[in-house]
Amino acid sequence: MDLTFTWLTHKPELALRQVVAPSTSGFALAQTNELEDATEFIQPDSLVLTVGIAFKDNQSDLGRYIDHLADAGAVAIGFGTGLTFTTIPEQVVTTARRRGIGLFEVPRHIPFISILTAIHQEQRRRAQLEQQRLIDDQERLTRAAIPGSLDMLVSTAAELLDASVRINGPGAAPVAAAESAGYTRAVDEGARLRSSTHRLVSGPKRPYSLEVASAQRPPAALLRHCAGLADMLLARPAELRAARNELNAFALSARFGLGDGSTLLPRGFDTPIDDSGLTRPAVITADRTRALEQARNALDTAADAQGHFLYAAPLDRLSMVVLVHPDQDGADFLAALGATAQRVRVAVSRPLPAADLDAAHIRALKSRCGVLALGDSSLPGSSRASWLTEPAVAEALRAQRKELLGVLETEDAERHTDYARTLTVFLQHGGQLAQTAEALGIHRHTARSRIARIQELCGIDLADPATFAEAFFAATSEV
């Protein structure tokens, strides 16, 4: 990024004095040199800083030195005075004028490092501004594309690029086109124009291209961004139409009972059902809606990364059911949850025919979640607490649950307390008051007082292991 000599001489802290005006308006970088022959080290379009120490005893060779700097690509010299030479030698001034190379006097009290630092900081500042300008322009293009209008995208691109922007379709027929006022003025003035064509990747049967012409070279990153947005807009109508057709077919099948459970879901939606009609259900429960939402987002992100859709539906405020492809086992499901698995309970089923999946099976999975602590899971093949789903045990637990929580729910309804939920959370956290208080968002002393009152109302002693276990299975099992 070139800096101008005008900017450099207007930095009062650098105290540079122009002796010979440069033939160019700016320079690309600054560097120091004290070698007699530094041809291989001099960068093109550079400002070379030197005190001429190599010529202290042969001042007559300074003219040749300036010649070789100019030949190497330097466009200006900053000559430091007061150290090797009191003033700039006449040979330096004469040669600089002859070669058209800029010459600036650098006073002794100005170290070269301060000049290099000022130039570097300004280049970095301008680079950051350019990067931010690019980000802002990309955001403007994105906002223009959101409504789905190619004309709006092309019009905004023409303004930002100060160019003529066209999207050509089959046979080079224009689909959308716009020109900026600056481009029109450049054409009228006979300016030299630059043009570029970007092929859009909408498919072999959709030979679209983006054509841009301007007097200045537009940022390549902005052109690529515009081309990508144009391609998505061109592809969107076909994709949305296909999706709508699939949904229409699904709605008709569901309405008229056409097909079986394995064929109701649209094929184009990457259904979680294999060719044998099998699917794998899972239930996730949590103590907080936020944790359940985070788990759903994690599953959606993982599915999107694999090019799949998420099939999930809420059961209530703190639980949901998810369908995944039968090839995805329990370990894969937990991996998809990532860190959010520590904030929920998960029960994953064996693969089963989609036609056989019913509310009873989902309730059984939810019951398995009910006996888990936060962060635990029940995967296929595990026999953990499988006896809870036995009919006789389930019936006993239902009766015990009604007896235990019925008293608390009545108290909650009459006095606006929260005893039933407090007991459930307390049992789920293994009787730990601190964890219970944190999960409920209350003080530990408040949790202790509630548990004491719950024991009084229910006539139980939760310090007794057998009583605690009985209350745990009754209160936390959804049977």
Q: What is the DSSP string of 171-194?
A: GG-EEEEEE-HHHHHHHHTT---E
| Separation between Cα atoms, residue 460 and residue 477, nearest integer Å | 19
Residue at 70 is within a domain: yes
| Separation between Cα atoms, residue 165 and residue 170, nearest integer Å | 17
Residue with the larger pLDDT of the pair 182 and 275: 182
Residue 15 pLDDT level (bands cut at 50, 70, 90): very high
Residue at 371 is within a domain: yes
Shared domain check, 418 and 362: no
Residue 115 pLDDT level (bands cut at 50, 70, 90): very high
Query: What does the block give as tokens for 470?
Result: 């009985």
Residue 204 pLDDT level (bands cut at 50, 70, 90): very low
Tell me, what's the pLDDT at 1? 55
Tell me, what's the pLDDT at 427? 85
Number of other residues whose CB lies within 10 A of the CB of residue 87: 12
Query: Considering 76, 103, 120, which residue would you say is the last residue of a domain?
Result: 120
**How buried is 356 (Cβ within 10 angstroms: 0-12 exposed, 13-18 middle, 19+ buried)?**
exposed
Residue 237 pLDDT level (bands cut at 50, 70, 90): low
Mean pLDDT, to the nearest integer, of 227-245? 68
Shared domain check, 154 and 52: no
Shared domain check, 472 and 422: yes
Residue 112 pLDDT level (bands cut at 50, 70, 90): very high
pLDDT in tens, 117-176: 999 999 999 989 988 998 998 899 898 888 777 889 989 999 998 889 998 887 777 888
pLDDT in tens, 30-47: 999 999 888 888 999 999
Shared domain check, 406 and 368: no
Residue at 114 is within a domain: yes
Query: Considering 331, 348, 378, which residue would you say is the last residue of a domain?
Result: 378
Tell me, what's the pLDDT at 300? 83
Shared domain check, 62 and 163: no
**How buried is 344 (Cβ within 10 angstroms: 0-12 exposed, 13-18 middle, 19+ buried)?**
buried
Tell me, what's the pLDDT at 102? 95
Residue type at 262 in one-letter notation:
S
Tell me, what's the pLDDT at 262? 44
Tell me, what's the pLDDT at 352? 85
Mean pLDDT, to the nearest integer, of 466-473? 78
- For 40, 143, 152, 210, 220, the CA distances from 233, given in Å and listed in that order, are 51, 13, 11, 13, 20
Tell me, what's the pLDDT at 344? 93
Residue at 139 is within a domain: no
Tell me, what's the pLDDT at 267? 47
For residue 283, give the H/E element and its range.
strand 278-285
Q: Name the most confidently modeled range: 311-320, 340-349, 352-361, 469-478.
A: 340-349
pLDDT reading at 270 higher than 60:
no
| Separation between Cα atoms, residue 461 and residue 283, nearest integer Å | 32
CATH number of domain containing 344:
3.30.70.3400
Tell me, what's the pLDDT at 396? 65
Q: How many domains does the chain have?
A: 4
User: Using N-to-C axis directions, what is the helix angle for 90-99 and 62-72, rounded to 10°?
Assistant: 30
Question: Where would I find the H helices in 2-148?
Answer: 5-9, 62-72, 90-99, 112-145
Residue 292 pLDDT level (bands cut at 50, 70, 90): very high
CATH number of domain containing 44:
3.40.1390.20
Residue at 28 is within a domain: yes
Residue at 470 is within a domain: yes
pLDDT reading at 317 higher than 80:
yes
CATH number of domain containing 455:
1.10.10.2840
Tell me, what's the pLDDT at 38? 83
Mean pLDDT, to the nearest integer, of 186-190? 87
Tell me, what's the pLDDT at 96? 95
Check if the beta carbon of residue 165 is closer than 8 Å to that of residue 177: yes
Tell me, what's the pLDDT at 175? 82
Shared domain check, 370 and 398: no
Shared domain check, 114 and 10: yes
Strand partners, 154: none
Shared domain check, 94 and 157: no
Shared domain check, 287 and 364: yes
Residue range of the domain that includes 91: 3-120
Shared domain check, 396 and 373: no
Residue at 263 is within a domain: no
Check if the beta carbon of residue 49 is closer than 8 Å to that of residue 31: yes
Shared domain check, 107 and 13: yes
Residue 264 pLDDT level (bands cut at 50, 70, 90): very low
Shared domain check, 110 and 176: no
Residue at 307 is within a domain: yes
CATH number of domain containing 189:
3.30.450.40
pLDDT reading at 69 higher than 60:
yes
Query: Considering 203, 235, 267, which residue would you say is the last residue of a domain?
Result: 235
| Separation between Cα atoms, residue 37 and residue 44, nearest integer Å | 16
Mean pLDDT, to the nearest integer, of 2-12? 91
